[in-house]
């Protein structure tokens, strides 16, 4: 469904400058949940912005359903880490969820139904008349997820969406995400720096090392539905976690080294 | 003379601080205690005003201040109430306010679109910056001779002055506001496929609104100062001219009463602006009464 081919992104005008993303290749099958794991500063966010069509890549291609992505595709939704900035404070929760629908051609009763359904799916039925800033952080991120759901995307890109909520809320949001993803049949690309989160959520985990390229791909064969306590107690969970930790740790040391020379980059 | 009336345009960020936390903090003390505290605060404030008035009254009555130039406050207020029940005072207020309203309205109509344009185009902004920086600090009253020469001493002259001077703060605030749209909000809009017109209407304009409101509130008081100044100096009809007439007829009490009226008009306009701002921008951090979480 999503194919990333030889993606390369250099910030600034000089195409030969140090890349943030280099030689990135991977594919995501329809219905798959792929977690992209990387330490901070490894180029995850830049990669995701290229995937979403928000910024053009310097070289390489992103194909969605086989067609190159040149701008934000119609059937893609994006959930940002910074929910307080992604939600518009001058709109009520309901309007925050509903406003993109019009530009997708959904209006009137259909838009209202989609909005209320999405709010109910994230457990915010009856909160539509409030403003986002009247809600807790976890609820605000649920509003952002509801907005994405109401849009009925085929592909959902998420940029560390749960990084700024507390651990309890985070567990709740993870389970909510797994549940709505089943119900709405969405393909998810989920960027995170949290190993447990990646293993718990995903069908497959890709480890990125700077400049962003896939250094390890691991299939996660944990049974679904997953459970916050039981799944994390499985020996397989511990094994995956150790493997990814080792792969990331190497990445951490790479990142700490001063300006890697081109020879090291491969 | 009036050079210091040119407003200092605050950097956009200053807007968020200010009143943000203050009103919410007291709310926790329980409604009864909060109410008692509010009454006490009001009492203290009224007491302060009364003390100053009483001091003036005494100074005048006891001859500490020459009574000829400083009539007792009580007489001024009697005159004020007498004027308030007559028609002429309201006609003068109307004249001053019509200059204020037309001038500020025109300035807004010109400055907001111009600010949107300059704020959204980097090239236009840099092209125009020097010109703006040249015109903005011109002391407003220095233009009165020019305005009188071109427009005479009527309403047109007042409106010209007010438009010329209030244009700049509204323009600058609009530019800052448009430039300060949150990049995450813009990315969100792009991800969801909003066309540029919708981005402008749903994202850019609402997020610039608090800046524009600040510009308008600053401009409103400047516009009033200019209207009264033009009336005083150039003799266009209005409150300022009424003050001059009272003074030259040695009606000192009336002069004081009219000065108080101009103060009240300014206070009223400012309060009205704050009320409208509080209503329309209740989502903005500076206006929120409750804290998230």
Residue-wise DSSP of B198-228: HHIIIIIHHHHHHHHHHHHHHHHHHHHHHHH
Average pLDDT over residues B39-64: 91
ipTM of the complex: 0.84
CATH of the domain at B219: 1.10.3720.10
- Buried-exposed string B93-121: b where 16+ CB fall within 10 A, e elsewhere: bebbbebbbbbbebbbeebbebbbebbbe
pLDDT digit string, tens, across residues A7-25 = 999 988 887 888 888 889 9
User: Is B260 in the A-facing interface, judged by CB distances under 8 Å?
Assistant: no
Calculate mean pLDDT across residues B61-80. Answer: 89
d(CA A56, CA B177): 27
Count of domains observed in chain B: 2
Mean of pLDDT over chain B: 85
Q: Hey, are the CB atoms on B290 and A134 less than 8 Å from each other?
A: yes
- Residue of A90, A95, A118, A134 for testing the chain B interface, max B β-carbons within 10 Å: A90
Q: Taking residues B240-255, report their average pLDDT.
A: 93
The verdict on B59 and B197 lying in the same domain is no
CB atoms within 10 A of CB A232: 15
Query: Are B113 and B146 within one domain?
Result: yes
The answer to whether residue B290 sits within a structural domain is no
Within-domain flag for B272? yes
CA of A74 to nearest chain B CA: how many angstroms apart?
7
Does B50 share its domain with B104? no
Would you state the structure tokens that stand for residue A252, as one six-digit string?
């951490």
* Section B42-57 average pLDDT: 92
**B190 interface with A at CB cutoff 8 Å:** yes
User: pLDDT tens, B200-217?
Assistant: 999 999 999 999 999 999
Sheet containing A19-28, strands listed edge to edge, beginning at the edge strand earlier in sequence: A19-28, A2-10, A59-64, A67-68
B279, closest residue in chain A (CA to CA): A90
Q: Decide the pairing of beta strands A76-79 and A204-209.
A: unpaired
- Give the Cα separation of B238 and A206 in Å (integer): 75
State whether A77 and B191 contact (CB < 8 Å): yes
**What is d(CA B230, CA B210) in angstroms, rounded to the nearest whole number?**
30
**In Å, how far is B140's CA from the nearest CA of chain A?**
36
Residue B45, Cβ neighbours under 10 Å: how many?
10
| Residue from the list A82, A103, A136 with its beta carbon closest to the beta carbon of B195 | A103
Contact B181, B210 (CB under 8 A): no
pTM: 0.80
Q: Please provide residue B86's backbone torsions phi and psi, each rounded to the nearest 5 degrees.
A: -100, 160
Q: Return the SS3 of A40.
A: coil
Residues of A in contact with B188 (CB under 8 A): 78, 80, 86, 88
Residues B177 and B194 in one domain: yes
Residue A46 forms contact with B (CB below 8 Å): no
- Chain A contact present for B187, CB below 8 A: yes
- Residue B13 inside a domain? The answer is no
Closest-approach residue (CA) in chain B for A52 = B191
Q: Which residues of A touch B283 (CB under 8 A)?
A: 89-90, 131, 133
Are B42 and B80 members of one domain? no
The tokens 């993109």 sit on which residue?
A100
Residue B22 pLDDT greater than 50, yes or no: no
Residues B59 and B182 in one domain: no
- The dihedral through the CA atoms of B278, B281, B282, B284 has a sign that is negative
Tell whether B10 is covered by a domain.
no
Residue where one domain finishes, among candidates B47, B70, B93: B70
- B55 and B123 belong to one structural domain: no
What was the pLDDT predicted at B13?
38
A80 in contact with chain B, both atoms CB, cutoff 8 A: yes
Residue B210 at interface with chain A, using a CB cutoff of 8 Å: no
Please compute Rg for chain B using Cα positions: 23
Closest by CA to B216, choosing from B103, B65, B125, is: B103
**Inter-CA distances, B212 with A7, A14, B10, B132, B178, Å:** 43, 38, 12, 17, 10
pLDDT beyond 70 at B5: no
DSSP three-state, residue B97: helix
Q: What is the pLDDT of residues B123-159, one digit of tens each?
A: 999 999 888 888 888 888 888 999 999 998 889 999 9
How many angstroms separate the CA atoms of A192 and B28, rounded?
39
The Cα of B283 is separated from the nearest Cα of chain A by a number of Å equal to 5
- Interface contacts A/B by beta carbons within 8 Å: 66
Kindly state whether residues B119 and B187 are assigned to the same domain: yes
pLDDT given at position B289? 62
Q: How far is CA A178 from CA A28, A33, A121, B149, in A?
A: 17, 9, 12, 75
Mean pLDDT of the B83-110 span? 94
d(CA B157, CA A256): 68
pLDDT of residue A39: 86
Boundary of a domain, candidates B10, B37, B70: B70
Across the interface, whether the CB atoms of A88 and B184 are under 8 A apart is answered no
Contacts of B190 in chain A (CB under 8 A): 54, 71-72
Same structural domain, B54 and B133 = no
A71: tokens are: 């701008």
Under an 8 A CB cutoff, do B292 and A136 touch?
yes
10-residue stretch averages of pLDDT, chain A, 266 residues long:
91 83 91 91 88 91 91 90 91 93 88 91 89 91 91 92 87 90 91 93 91 87 89 92 86 45 40
Q: How many CB atoms lie within 10 A of CB B177?
A: 27
Picking from B54, B70, B86, the residue at the C-terminal end of a domain is: B70
Q: Are A42 and A209 in contact (CB under 8 A)?
A: yes
Best A88, A102, A139 residue to mutate vs chain B (most B CBs within 10 Å): A88
Cα separation, A124 vs A119, in Å, equals: 5
* Chain B residues closer than 8 Å to A76 by CB: 191
Host domain of residue B94: 71-280
Q: How confident is the model at residue B9 (pLDDT cuts 50, 70, 90)?
A: very low
Residues B262 and B161 in one domain: yes
**Torsion angle, alpha carbons of A89, A95, A98, A99, to 10:** -60
Domains of chain A: 2-75+153-265 (3.40.50.300)
Asked if A77 has any chain B CB less than 8 Å from its own CB, the reply is yes
Strand partners, A61: A5
Question: What is the distance in angstroms between the CA of the first residue and the CA of the last residue of chain B?
Answer: 50
pLDDT of residue B257: 95
Q: List chain B residues with CB under 8 Å of A141.
A: none
Judge contact between B170 and B216, C-beta under 8 A.
yes
Q: Are the beta carbons of B193 and A103 separated by less than 8 Å?
A: yes
Q: What is the DSSP letter of A31?
A: T
B176 vs B119: CA distance, rounded Å? 7
Separation in Å, CA of B193 to nearest CA in chain A = 7
Q: Do B47 and B99 belong together in one domain?
A: no
Residue with token string 């792929």: A34
Over residues B169-182, the mean pLDDT reads 93
Q: Which helix (H) or strand (E) holds B81?
A: helix B73-84
What is the residue-wise DSSP string for A99-130? TTGGGGT--HHHHHHHHHHHHHHTT-TT-TTS
Q: Specify whether the CB–CB gap between A209 and A38 falls below 8 A.
A: yes
- Beta-strand relationship, A33-37 and A76-79: unpaired
pLDDT level of residue B29 (50, 70, 90 thresholds): low
Residues B85 and B63 in one domain: no
């Amino acid at each position: 469904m999503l194919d990333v081919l030889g993606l390369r992104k250099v910030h600034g005008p000089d195409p030969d400058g140090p890349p943030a993303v280099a030689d990135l290749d991977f594919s995501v099958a329809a219905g798959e949940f792929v977690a992209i794991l990387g330490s901070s500063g490894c180029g995850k966010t830049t990669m995701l912005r290229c995937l979403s069509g928000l910024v053009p890549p310097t070289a390489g291609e992103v194909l969605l359903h086989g067609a190159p992505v040149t701008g934000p595709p119609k059937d893609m939704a994006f959930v940002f880490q910074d929910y307080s900035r992604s939600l518009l404070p001058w709109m009520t929760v309901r309007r925050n969820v509903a406003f993109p629908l019009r530009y997708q051609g959904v209006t009137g009763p259909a838009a209202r139904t989609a909005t209320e359904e999405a709010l109910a799916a994230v457990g915010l039925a009856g909160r539509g008349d409030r403003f986002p800033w009247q809600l807790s952080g976890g609820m605000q991120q649920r509003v952002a997820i509801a907005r994405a759901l109401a849009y009925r995307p085929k592909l959902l890109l998420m940029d560390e969406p749960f990084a700024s909520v507390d651990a309890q809320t985070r567990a709740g949001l993870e389970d909510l995400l797994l549940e709505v993803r089943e119900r709405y049949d969405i393909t998810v690309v989920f960027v995170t720096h949290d190993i447990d989160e990646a293993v718990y959520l995903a069908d497959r985990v890709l480890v990125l090392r700077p400049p962003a390229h896939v250094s390890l791909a691991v299939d996660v064969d944990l049974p679904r539905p997953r459970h916050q306590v039981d799944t994390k107690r499985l020996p397989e969970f511990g094994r995956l976690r150790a493997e990814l930790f080792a792969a990331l740790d190497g990445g951490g040391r790479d990142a700490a080294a001063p300006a890697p020379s081109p020879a090291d980059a491969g | 003379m009036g050079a210091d009336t040119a407003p200092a345009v605050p950097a956009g960020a200053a807007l968020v601080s200010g009143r943000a936390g203050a009103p919410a903090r007291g709310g926790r003390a329980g409604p009864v205690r909060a109410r008692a505290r509010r009454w006490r605060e009001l009492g203290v404030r009224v007491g302060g005003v009364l003390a100053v008035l009483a001091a003036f009254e005494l100074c005048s009555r006891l001859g500490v201040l020459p009574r000829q130039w400083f009539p007792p406050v009580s007489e001024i207020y009697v005159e004020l109430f007498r004027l308030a029940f007559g028609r002429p005072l309201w006609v003068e207020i109307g004249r001053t306010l019509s200059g204020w309203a037309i001038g500020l309205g025109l300035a807004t109509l010109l400055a907001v679109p111009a600010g949107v344009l300059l704020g959204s185009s980097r090239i236009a902004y840099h092209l125009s910056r020097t010109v703006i920086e040249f015109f903005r600090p011109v002391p407003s009253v220095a233009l009165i001779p020019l305005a009188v020469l071109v427009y005479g001493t009527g309403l047109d002259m007042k409106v010209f002055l007010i438009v010329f001077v209030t244009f700049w703060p509204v323009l600058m605030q609009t530019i800052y506001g448009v430039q300060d749209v949150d990049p995450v909000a813009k990315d969100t809009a792009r991800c969801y496929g909003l066309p540029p017109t919708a981005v402008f209407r749903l994202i850019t304009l609402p997020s610039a609104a608090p800046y524009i409101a600040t510009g308008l509130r600053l401009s409103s008081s400047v516009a009033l100062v200019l209207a009264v100044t033009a009336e005083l100096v150039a003799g266009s009809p209005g409150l300022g001219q009424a003050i001059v007439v009272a003074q030259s007829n040695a009606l000192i009490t009336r002069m004081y009463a009219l000065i108080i009226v101009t103060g009240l008009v300014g206070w009223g306009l400012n309060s009205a602006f704050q009320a409208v701002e509080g209503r329309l921008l209740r989502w903005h951090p500076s206006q929120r009464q409750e804290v998230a979480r």
